[in-house]
Structure formats: structure tokens, C-alpha cells
Amino acid sequence: MRKNEISHERQISREAANDGTDELASQTALDVDELVVGYPSTDELVIDGQTLAVPDGEVTALIGPNGSGKSTLLKALANRLEPDDGRVLLDDRRVDSFESKELARKLGRLSQQNTAPDTISVEELVERGRYPHQGFFESQTDDDAEAVDEAIAMAGVDHLRDREIGTLSGGQTQLVWIAMALAQDTDVLLLDEPTTFLDPRHQLEVMQVVEMLRDKSDTTVVLVLHDISQAARYADNVVALKEGTIYASGPPEAIVTDDLLADVFDIDSEVIETEHGPVVVPLDPIVEPSQNETNESEMLQRGSGSPGQQE
């Protein structure tokens, strides 16, 4: 569907909900209600009329093939993309009704690509996470220093505190960025592909931080993951997206199945149940026959079934 085809009925149904607060009661941290999102550079919609409830204090993983809308949905949750229709609610309040610093005190987001001067120290970068809690020209407080120390400790980068960012490995750098997001001290944290391009050890370290956030501070975490086994192991809820729609959502054991992976990712696979959760073994891509191949197959079948027509 294109942007100019959004239903007029949807728009009318939202007219009473433009004041920030909302009549929709929710027991969740984030509510997505008939969300329609695209990019200004194109008329094509990426997310078209999707609804989702993100449980409070749990880990929710977004999975799906490339281009399915995972990162776009995450940007909409963080109010980084203006919806063409629908709404995102944070604690029953529209995210677009928050002022930027107010929202940043409640919701943090770490994108796929983050940049900082090579010469800045780890501690200085993590301190930047305290910006939403500081007033104009306000210096760092004792609370800020404590939050920075806790974030550095939780991310396991205390031994890197005085190192310059430019001297770190990719895995170490990612953990430092996560420490900065932790220092922001929000109720909700959004992570876009936090383990991509990391070696197995650093992937495990990142996911253990996610576990600690949930278990020790009741933080709601929503993250995009390409590793389906990782999503099944660490997430309380898995949301599978395909072509901008939420194909299925629920607990990992209900979502990570052979049939769903075939439908969503176009792969034959085997899902093996282990004590650590489902493990996905991809076997082969599912290749749809071309129209010519289908026509030739049908002709051969007709020919073999009608001897009188054969020369």
C-alpha cells in the first residue's frame, strides 16, 4: 500500500487521541496501534497498519529477513520516524507527545551505526549517556558519577575505562556504546542488531548484559537480532516480521518452528530443542520454481498422461 492510500476511516478513529494521553489502557511498556510508517524519500510504506504490545520488564526480539521492517519499527518506537498513521504509546502516552529530553529519560535507543571521536576515552563516552538528566550548563553530579560507574561495571568494560575509543576492538567498542545506553538509565532500551559482526564471546557478553537488565532492573528491552537461535535463547517474546507485517509473535517455543522459518525466511531448517532453548540449523533455501519451469512441468505431466498425443 502507498502512503496516499491510507484509509480515511483510520484517520477519523484517531482524531480523539491527539492530546498525548490515550484512552487505551495498557499493562505493557510499549503499545503499537495500527502503525503505518514509511520514509520521506519514497511513497512506499515499510510498516503498514501493524499492532503490537511489548510486555513490561521483558526482552522482546524482532526477527525477520533483510528489508522486513525490523529497524524501521524500532525507529518508530523511539519516535525517530513520524508515522503516517497509527500511534506508539509509552506508558499509555504517545511517544510523539514527549519533549526530547523527557523521552530520553524514559526510553534509550542504540542504533546499528554509532560514531565518536577516536581520542575520546571510554569513561567520557559513557558520561554522555547522562545528558538527558542534566540541565543546561549543569556539571556532573554524584548521581551521574554513580550511574556511569554502574553502567561501566554492568557492561564489563571497567578495565577499559581510561582507554581511547580508537584503540578498542569492534566488540569492545560495542560494549562501551551499550554502557553509554545503560548510563542513560531508562525504563525501556531499544537495541538495533547489537550482536552483528561480533565474535561469539562478545555476542555472549552483550546478551548477558541484556539478561542482567531484565533480571536485575526490570528494564524492558526490544532488540533486533539476525541470529534466530540467540533470539530463542534470550528473549521472552519473539516477533517475526515479513514484508512490513507482523507475521507472528509470542514465546520463542511457539514462534521458532520449522514451518514459520519456511514461511518467513524461505528456508528449510531443523529446530532442535535443547536445555538452552531452540537451536536453528538452516538446511537449504527454498527456491520457488519459475513460471517457465512450472509451465514445462505441466506440459510434461499432460504429455506423459496422454499417450495418444505423443508422436
Give pTM, 2 decimals: 0.84
Q: Given this model, what pLDDT does residue 284 score?
A: 96
Q: Given this model, what pLDDT does residue 295 score?
A: 61
Coarse DSSP helix, strand, coil percentages of the chain, rounded to the nearest 5 percent = 40, 25, 30
3-class state of residue 186 by DSSP:
coil
184 vs 166: CA distance, rounded Å? 22
pLDDT per residue as tens digits for the range 37-79: 999 888 889 999 999 999 999 999 999 999 999 999 999 999 9
User: What residue ranges of the chain have pLDDT lower than 70?
Assistant: 1-26, 137, 289-311
Q: What is each CA distance from 228 to 238, 261, 277, in whole angstroms? A: 9, 9, 11
Q: Given this model, what pLDDT does residue 3 score?
A: 47
Q: What is each CA distance from 162 to 168, 176, 177, 183, 255, in whole angstroms? A: 11, 12, 15, 17, 43
Question: How large a percentage of the chain has pLDDT more than 70?
Answer: 84
